Structure formats: C-alpha cells, structure tokens
C-alpha cells in the first residue's frame, strides 16, 4: 500500500525520455454502477497493473458530476495500491445546494491529502437527460477556468492534464451541405455519418487550437486526446500543436474496439472520422462478437505501431472500457506484456456498466410505452425523440417525457 504522494506524470515522462524509453502505456477506467462492479474493478486494476506497469492510470468523473464521490474513492484506491492516479475532474456542481467552487476545492484538497498529484481538468459532459452543457451558477465556465483556479489555489502541487480534440470538439463540428467546398485540411478531418458529412471547419479549428494553447499556457503539463480512428488525423493535430507553440507531450487516447454497438455509438457521438476500410470491416463482422474483439486487437495493434513509428508520442493511453482482453491482445503484440491475453478473465463484464449511465444519449436504445426504439434527439427538459421500429411497418417517431423511457443495456 502506497504511503507517499504520487509523482507528477510530466516528471515521469521526462525522466523516461531522458533514459531512452520511447513509449509507455497508460490506462483509463470509469466508476462501475454497483458494489460488485467496484470490487471486480479493483481486481481488474490490480491484474492490469501487474501485467502492464502503466505509467499512470486515469479514473473518469461522471457527466454532471454524477460519480464524484465514487470517482475520488476509486482514484484514492488506485493511489494506495501503487498506481500513479490521474483523477478526472469537471466544471460541475458536486451536489444540490452546494457552492460549486467550494465543492471542487474540497475535492481537490481531498485528492491532495490522499496523495494524488495528478488531475485531468475538463469541462465535462452535460448531466442526465440534457444534451447541452450549462454553466452552474457561481461555478466554472470551462476547463481553462479550472486550470487557472488550480494553479492559483494549489500552486504547482498538482500535475495537470487537459483534453485535446484532433478532429475538433464535437460541439465545434457542424454538418457540411456541400463537401466539395472543404479545404484540404478540412477534408483530412471530416467524417461521414448516415450519408452526411461533418467537419470542424478551419475557422472553428483555429478557435479550438487557440483555446488549447490558452489551457497549456495557464499551467497544463500535457494533453490527452479524445479517441480517434484515423492516425493521420492525430499526426496532423500534433504538428498543429507545435505550430501553435504548444510543446508539451500529446498523449493519444485509444478507444479499444470491444463491440460493434459501442464502436458505432462512440463514432456517432464524437462525430469521429472512420476510415472506409475500418467501417467496411466492422460492418462485415458486426454480428460476430468474437470476431469483433479479435479485429479490435488487430486494428489496435496497427494503430499503435503507426503511432510509435511516428516518433510523436511518449505514451499510449488506452480507454479500457473496464475490460482487458483487447488491451492485452494489443500490448502482447507490441511487447509491453507477455502472455497477458492468455490469462484474460472477463466473466465479470456484465458488472462493468458505468455509474451515472442509466440515462440515455442520442443513439442509445430505450424502451417506453410505445415500444423499443433509438433516441434521435434529446430536448432541454429531458424529453426524448424516439424512433420506434415496427417490423414490416414504417418507423414511428414519438416524443416521450423524461422519466417515461428507460435505457436498454
């Protein structure tokens, strides 16, 4: 059990770089919904720490602050059991009738007192039933505010990571009516979803990069990117960072492909660029869960090899989805682990449902009085526009009030 404070991630990266270590691995988990899930996650984190010796380990913070207490508890558990704990924290209220800045300060102080020395400063996703993120009265408006507050209130006691978006933040990505008008740079990061083209246009991308520069200049040590499937997009992003004078490490966030539904949902939610060959392959095996995981290992290995060969990275950051098979398959192939895949135990996969995820997002399957369907849109009051599919009949679109529909798992 750890009795000393963690080191800062940036110091470890710099130390390994000086020692000639080219690439390391880091892992990310989310808080499970049940006590059984938490216990199983404890076991998984211990197994994966032993197999991979991750440079650091992230614990996410639920949308709207929905998992604040559990996220902190799990991050402290990681610190006590030998991980370099990197706790996500968002600009959200941590409870009803609570001063948001006071709540954030207390959470940061608790992390500090528990030996945690690394924080990922994020704006965060909207809370349950809401599609748009809104500033909590008296709280922080953006991740930049949180970075500034941490440096003003805690000095250099924390290492701070911030998010980077190689394709642009989803809120900065818009539908393109005429793709022929796109510039070469825009074509390189645009995506096609349901026959429509989406892109973070050059003017918006510039705003994104200017804002990222502000976050780094305010005291951030490194950038962890949102998931991507096209390595060229990441390479361009890193080069753009250097052009903007952003010289800190840029850590690629890698979503492991574990299931077709999860792949499709996240690609749509993030408006991610999916290479044509990847989409075609996933479509061809979507009904074979074993083949999807096997391909997830193959594709993940290809992506990671390309990233390592680029010479642009120090760390490969795996979004584990609280599972281990695909991660182990990739790390075995790359030589970061040996024989880990043969020891996989995912019998507890059903317990790895995220706390705070009972509410639905666009693209999720839900049930309501009218039947089972897919959420097409969410209103500001939490009502959902649901497309009900009727076998042999035309789809039916209904609007259902918040609380009258339930997410299907």
- DSSP secondary structure, 279-311, as one string: HHHHHHHTT-HHHHHHHHHHHHHHHHHHHHHHT
Q: What is the per-residue pLDDT for 133?
A: 43
Q: How far apart are CA 323 and CA 254, in angstroms?
A: 13
**Active site annotation includes 46:** no
Q: What is the per-residue pLDDT for 128?
A: 45
Whether 335 and 49 have beta carbons less than 8 Å apart is answered as no
Give which of 229, 281, 276, 231 is closest to 255, Cα–Cα: 229
Active-site residue identified among 28, 130, 167, 324 = 28
Whether 126 and 17 have beta carbons less than 8 Å apart is answered as no
Q: What topology does CATH give the domain 9-351?
A: TIM Barrel (3.20.20)
Q: What is the per-residue pLDDT for 357?
A: 47
Structure tokens at 38: 């938490």
Whether 114 and 81 have beta carbons less than 8 Å apart is answered as no
Structure tokens at 361: 């997002």
Q: What is the per-residue pLDDT for 362?
A: 67
Q: What is the per-residue pLDDT for 92?
A: 63
Fill in the DSSP letter of residue 404: S
Whether 133 and 123 have beta carbons less than 8 Å apart is answered as yes
Q: What is the per-residue pLDDT for 367?
A: 83
For the CA atoms of 167, 173, 178, 180, the dihedral, rounded to the nearest 10 degrees, stands at -20
pTM of the predicted protein model: 0.84
Domain boundaries, the chain: 9-351, 365-407
For the CA atoms of the chain, what is the radius of gyration? 21
Q: What is the per-residue pLDDT for 369?
A: 86
Q: What is the per-residue pLDDT for 263?
A: 93
* Strand-by-strand arrangement of the 196-199 sheet: 174-176, 196-199, 191-193
108 Cβ partners below 8 Å, 6+ apart?
A: 89, 119, 150, 153, 154, 158
Give which of 153, 73, 154 is closest to 114, Cα–Cα: 73
Kindly report the backbone phi and psi dihedral angles of residue 344, in degrees, each rounded to the nearest multiple of 5, phi listed first: -60, 140
- Tens of each residue's pLDDT in the chain, 409 residues: 556 999 999 999 999 999 999 999 999 999 987 889 899 999 999 999 999 999 999 999 864 444 678 899 999 999 999 999 999 998 764 555 667 788 889 999 999 999 999 999 997 654 444 445 455 555 677 899 999 999 999 999 999 999 999 999 999 999 999 999 999 999 999 999 889 999 999 999 999 999 999 999 999 999 999 999 999 999 999 999 999 999 999 999 999 999 999 999 899 989 999 999 999 999 999 999 999 999 999 999 999 999 999 999 999 999 999 999 999 999 999 999 999 999 887 776 666 655 554 456 666 678 888 888 888 777 656 678 888 877 777 788 889 887 778 776 4
The SS3 call for residue 6 is coil
For the CA atoms of 270, 209, 60, 283, the dihedral, rounded to the nearest 10 degrees, stands at 20
């Amino acid at each position: 059990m750890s009795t000393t404070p963690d080191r800062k991630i940036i110091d470890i990266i710099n130390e390994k770089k000086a020692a000639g270590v080219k690439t390391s691995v880091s892992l990310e988990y989310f808080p499970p919904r049940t006590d059984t899930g938490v216990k199983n996650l404890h076991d998984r984190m211990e197994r994966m720490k032993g197999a991979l010796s991750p440079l650091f380990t992230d614990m996410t913070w639920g949308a709207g602050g929905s998992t604040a207490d559990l996220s902190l508890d799990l991050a402290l558990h990681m610190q006590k059991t030998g991980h370099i704990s990197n706790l996500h924290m968002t600009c959200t209220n941590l409870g009803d009738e609570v001063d948001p800045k006071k709540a954030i300060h207390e959470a940061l102080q608790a992390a500090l007192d528990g030996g945690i020395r690394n924080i990922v400063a994020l704006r965060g996703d909207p809370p349950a039933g809401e599609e748009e993120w809104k500033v909590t009265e008296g709280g922080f408006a953006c991740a930049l505010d949180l970075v500034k507050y941490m440096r003003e209130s805690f000095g250099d006691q924390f290492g701070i990571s911030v998010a980077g978006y190689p394709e642009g933040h989803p809120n900065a990505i818009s539908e393109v009516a005429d793709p022929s008008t796109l510039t070469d740079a825009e074509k390189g990061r645009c995506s096609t979803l349901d026959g429509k083209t989406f892109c973070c246009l050059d003017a918006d991308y510039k705003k994104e990069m200017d804002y990222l520069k502000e976050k780094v200049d305010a005291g951030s040590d490194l950038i962890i990117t949102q998931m991507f499937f096209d390595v060229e997009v990441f390479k361009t992003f890193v080069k753009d960072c250097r052009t903007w004078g952003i010289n800190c490490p840029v850590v690629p966030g890698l979503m492991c492909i574990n299931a077709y539904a999860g792949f499709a949902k996240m690609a749509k939610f993030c408006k991610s660029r999916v290479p044509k060959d990847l989409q075609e392959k996933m479509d061809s095996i979507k009904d074979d869960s074993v083949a999807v995981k096997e391909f997830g290992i193959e594709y993940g290995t290809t992506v990671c090899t390309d990233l390592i060969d680029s010479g642009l990275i120090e760390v490969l950051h795996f979004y584990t989805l609280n599972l281990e098979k695909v991660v182990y398959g990739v790390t075995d192939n790359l030589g970061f682990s040996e024989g880990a895949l043969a020891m996989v135990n995912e019998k507890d996969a059903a317990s790895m449902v995220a706390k705070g995820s009972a509410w639905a997002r666009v693209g999720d399957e839900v049930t309501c009085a009218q039947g089972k369907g897919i959420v097409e849109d969410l209103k500001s009051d939490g009502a959902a526009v649901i497309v009900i599919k009727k076998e042999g009949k035309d789809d039916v679109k209904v609007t259902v009030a918040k609380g009258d529909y339930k997410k299907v798992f």
